[in-house]
Amino acid sequence: MSRERLGHAGFLGFLATQALGAFNDNAFRFAMLFAIRAASEGPAQSRLTGLAQVLFAVPFVLFAAWSGTLADHFGKSRIIVLAKVTEVLVMMLGVLAFASGSSVSLLCVLFLMSTQSTFFGPAKYGWVAETVPEKNLARANGLVQMTTMVAIVSGQVFGGGLFESYRDDLSTGAWIFVVVAAMGVATALLVTRVPASRPEATFSKNPFGDLKKTWSAARRDRRLLYAVLGIGHFFLLSALLQIDLLVYGEDLLGLGDAASARLVATAVAGIALGSVLAGRLSRGRVEVGLVPLGALAMGLGILGLALCEPVPLDIQVVSSGGLADVLFLRGFWVQILLVFLTGIAGGLFIVPLYSMLQLLAPAGQKGRFLAFGNMVSFVGIGLASIFIWLPAELGLSIRTQFLMIAVLSVIGTLGALKIYPEACARFLAWALTHTFFRLRVRFADRVPEEGGALLVGSPASLKNMLILVASSRRELYFFTPPKRLEGRISSRLFRLLGDVSTGADNTPDTFESSGQVLRNHLDEGRLVVILADDSSAKGGVDTPALQATFKLLTQGFQVPILPVHLGGFRRRALLPIVHVTFGKALPPNSSLGVVEGAMRALDASSD
C-alpha cells in the first residue's frame, strides 16, 4: 500500500473532511442546546440539557466495538464516505426537528448524529495509521488535532450565532448544516482509497465482549495500556477544565458568559498550537518523551490557576470594553497566559498518545483498538461529571477545585510512568538532545524497523545511552560495564534507560543472567545494545564480561549485528552537534574481531 504525503490531495481532503465534521457536530449541538434551553425553564431545562449530554456520549460507548469492526471489515476510506453521506441524511432530519420545535425530536437527532460520529472516528484515525508513514505520523496527528480544535471552537461559536440570528425560524437556518455535510461528502471523495485491513472480521452480538477482549489485549502490552489510559486521562482533565474555566471566569474574574467562553477558547487554541508543536518536535518519529513533558506542564499550569490571586471585575467594565482591554488593564494576562500554556501542554500530551495507539495497534485491528480509545475518552468525560459534582456538593471553591485537578494530573502522570517508565527515559533523552546539543543521525535506516538486532558501540556512559535512545525510533535494551552501576541514583537511571546489567564484579559468570535476559529480548524481536567501557581500546570491546556477553548473544541467534559510532561534539551556531552513525549490518555469525574492525572503520571515517 502506498504511503500518503502530508501535502497530497488525499491527505488534504481527509483534513478538510474531518474538520467539516467536527465543525458541523458542534455547531448543530450548540444550536440545539440553545433551542432546548429557550423552549424550557427551571428543572426541566436542566434535565433536558443533562439528557442531551448523555445522549451525545452514549453511542461512543455503546457502539465502540461495532464501529471498530466495521472500519476493519470494509476499509477506512469507504466508511469515511458512508459516514459523511449518513451525516447529510441526519442533518436533514435535524431541519425537520427544528421545524417541529420538539425537544424530543432534537434529542433523537442528536443521538443519531453522535452515532454517525462514533462510526466515523475509528475510520478517521485508522486511515491515518494505514496511509501515513511512521516518520510523518506525529506531524499528521498534530495537523488533525489542530484542525479539529479549530473546527470545534468555530462550530460552537457558529452554533450560538446561528441560534441568535434564526431564533424564530431555526428550520431555515439549519439548512446550513446540510450544506456543510454535503461539502464533507465532496471532500471525502478526495480521500485516498485503502483496502479493507481485515475483511474476515465478524460482528459480535455482544459488543461489550469485544471491548473486554480489546482491554485484555491492551493490558498485555504496557505501551498500548499507557496510550489508552493516557487518552482517557487527557479527556478527563479537559472536561474538568472546560467547566471550571467557565465558573472561574464568571465567579472569580467577574467576566460575562461570552468573555468566560473565550477562556475556554484560549485553552483550545493552545491545544491546537501544542498539537502542531508536538508534530514538529517529534522529528520523524512517535516521540513518547513529549508525554511526560506535556503532563508536567499541564499540572503546573493548572496549579498556577489555583494559586493565582484573581482580581474580580465589575460586570459593567467587561460589557463596556473589549476583553483584551480588560485583560491587560486589570492584570488578567497572567490567567490568560496560564490557560494558553496549559492548552499547549495538552497538545504536546495527546498527539504522541494517539500516534502511539495508531502505531502499536495490531495490523488488521487498528479500527478496533482506535474505537476502544474513543470509548475510553468518553469514559473520561463521564468521570469528569462526578469530579465536578462532588466538589460542588462539598462547597469547595473553584480555586480548590483547580488544586484538586492539578493533584489528579500528578497522580495520573505518576501512575502512567509506573506502567511505562520508558516514557520517562524518552523524555530525558529528548530534553538532553534539545537543550544541550543538537543531534545528527546518519544511516538511521540501517536499523531494522522490526525484528531483533544487536548494536555494538562505545564508550559506555549515561550521556551516550541517552543519545542512543534519542537516535532510535525503537526501544533499546542495554548491556554496560559493571562499574557503571555504582551508586543508587546512577543505578536507577541506567535501569530506567533499559540497562539490564547486574552484579558488581567483572567476571563472565556474573553476567550470565543478564545475558539470558538480553537473549530473551532478541528472541522477542527487540534491539539490544552492548556499550564498551571507557577503558576499552578505541572502538573496541575488550573487557572479559563484554566478550562473554557478546558470545552469549550471538550463539544460535540469526540477528544482524550493527556497529554504532558516537562522534565527538562539533560546535556550530549556538549548540554543539553530536553525530551518531549506524554502520552496515554484519552477518549474525560475525566474530567480535570483525565487529571491532567495523567500529574502528566508522570511527576513522568520522574524523
Residue 110 clears pLDDT 60, i.e. is over it? yes
pTM beyond 0.95, yes or no: no
- The predicted pLDDT at position 343 comes to 92
Express each pLDDT in 181-215 by its tens digit: 999 999 999 998 888 887 877 767 777 777 788 88
Express each pLDDT in 321-368 by its tens digit: 444 444 443 457 788 888 899 999 999 999 999 988 888 888 778 888
β-partners of residue 572 are 575
For residues 98 and 167, is the Cβ–Cβ distance under 8 A?
A: no
At residue 409, what is the residue type? Answer: S
The DSSP letter of residue 287 is -
Total residues belonging to the chain: 607
- The predicted pLDDT at position 326 comes to 44
Mean model confidence pLDDT for the chain: 80
Q: How far apart are CA 406 and CA 394, in angstroms?
A: 18
* Percentage with pLDDT > 70 across the chain: 81
Residue located via cell numbers 460507548: 61
Express each pLDDT in 378-418 by its tens digit: 888 777 777 777 776 777 787 888 888 888 888 888 888 88
Express each pLDDT in 503-535 by its tens digit: 444 455 555 666 677 778 788 888 888 877 654
For residues 231 and 353, is the Cβ–Cβ distance under 8 A?
A: yes
Q: Where are the beta strands (DSSP E) in 260-382?
A: none
For residues 522 and 559, is the Cβ–Cβ distance under 8 A?
A: yes
Q: Three-state DSSP class for 474?
A: coil
Distance of alpha carbon 435 from the chain centroid: 23
- The predicted pLDDT at position 587 comes to 87
- Taking 3-state DSSP, the helix, strand and coil percentages for the chain, each rounded to the nearest 5, stand at 70, 5, 25
Least confident span in 313-317, 342-346, 452-456: 313-317
Q: Measure CA of the first residue to CA of the last residue in the chain; give whole Å.
A: 41
